[in-house]
């Protein structure tokens, strides 16, 4: 007769199991810490760019004195570098960093990070080029213009064909070209952020409140043993069931 006592577990496997648990905990803790740092970094980039002023002592200005940037001299230098390269399109860089950090913090392994950064950077470059074409010439607020130095160099190729047009026609052509270039860039950046997946996966706070607990798998519950099952296991014939007779 078979014993009803459960099989004894191998005690030597316990340290290995604990080692796996500790390793998984350390990996998860590192991901949470990295995600939190990226969230703070993305927010800092937004604050530095939003509070940038040409009166600050930075990479592209010769001003002296106390920096008026909300993050001080480091914020002014970082903001001036980003604005010099891609202009005001750099405002989209902060949300990209925060999106990456949020995925690490929440343990979202389904985020396509290559798509986030590849599509996002291509979108930012297209939007910077659109700003450079629309502006026509660098403004007094930014050294390399609203689109940065990259857009300024490419925009110089557009000036020659538009030289013979009137001011009104040139403005219309520049607006159409900026729209045709900037709109696809905005769409690429938005698709790279994968915010639709973030909302539908229930990670947003206003989506998590309505989440329901997963249903219990019925296969995990032990099945109730019947008399027929016990008879089959013992090799005995089943007892016929008498039909219920009416009155």
DSSP 8-state symbol, 204: S
The whole-number pLDDT of residue 90 equals: 95
The whole-number pLDDT of residue 134 equals: 86
DSSP 8-state symbol, 6: P
The whole-number pLDDT of residue 34 equals: 94
Is the distance from CB of 101 to CB of 36 less than 8 angstroms? yes
The whole-number pLDDT of residue 202 equals: 61
Instruction: List the helix and strand counts (H, then E) for the chain.
Output: 9, 0
Gap between the terminal Cα atoms of the chain: 46
Element (H, E) at 127: helix 113-135
The whole-number pLDDT of residue 189 equals: 97
Which residue bears the tokens 């069931």? Answer: 241
Give 10-residue mean pLDDT values along the chain (247 residues). 51 65 83 95 96 84 78 92 93 96 88 95 96 74 84 77 77 90 96 79 56 45 55 58 53
The whole-number pLDDT of residue 218 equals: 44
Is the distance from CB of 75 to CB of 50 less than 8 angstroms? no
Tokens of 173: 């052509």
Sort 44 into a burial class: Cβ within 10 Å, 0-12 / 13-18 / 19+. Answer: middle
Which residues are within 8 A (CB) of 149 and not within 5 positions of it... i.e. 6 or more apart? 84, 85
Which residues are within 8 A (CB) of 201 and not within 5 positions of it... i.e. 6 or more apart? 108, 110
Is the distance from CB of 120 to CB of 81 less than 8 angstroms? no
Residue 24 to residues 29, 221, 222: CA-CA distances in angstroms?
9, 28, 30
Hey, how many other C-beta atoms are within 10 angstroms of the C-beta on 173? 15
The whole-number pLDDT of residue 241 equals: 53
Tokens of 39: 């969230």
């Amino acid at each position: 007769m078979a014993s009803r006592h459960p099989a004894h577990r191998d005690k030597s496997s316990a340290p290995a199991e604990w080692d796996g648990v500790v390793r998984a905990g350390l990996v998860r803790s590192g991901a949470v810490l990295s995600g939190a740092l990226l969230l703070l970094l993305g927010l800092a980039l937004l604050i530095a760019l939003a509070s940038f002023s040409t009166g600050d002592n930075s990479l592209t200005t010769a001003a002296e004195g106390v920096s008026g940037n909300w993050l001080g001299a480091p914020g002014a230098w970082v903001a001036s570098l980003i604005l010099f390269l891609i202009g005001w399109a750099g405002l989209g860089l902060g949300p990209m960093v925060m999106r990456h950090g949020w995925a690490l913090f929440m343990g979202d392994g389904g985020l396509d990070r290559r798509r986030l950064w590849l599509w996002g950077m291509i979108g930012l470059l297209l939007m910077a080029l659109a700003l450079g074409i629309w502006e026509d010439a660098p403004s007094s607020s930014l050294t390399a213009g609203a689109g940065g130095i990259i857009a300024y160099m490419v925009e110089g190729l557009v000036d020659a064909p538009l030289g013979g047009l009137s001011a009104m026609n040139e403005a219309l052509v520049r607006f159409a070209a900026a729209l045709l270039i900037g709109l696809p860039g905005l769409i690429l950046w938005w698709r790279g952020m994968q915010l639709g997946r973030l909302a539908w996966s229930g990670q947003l706070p206003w989506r998590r409140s309505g989440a329901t607990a997963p249903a219990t798998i019925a296969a995990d519950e032990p099945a109730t043993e019947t008399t027929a099952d016990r008879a089959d296991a013992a090799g005995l014939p089943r007892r016929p069931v008498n039909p219920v007779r009416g009155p």
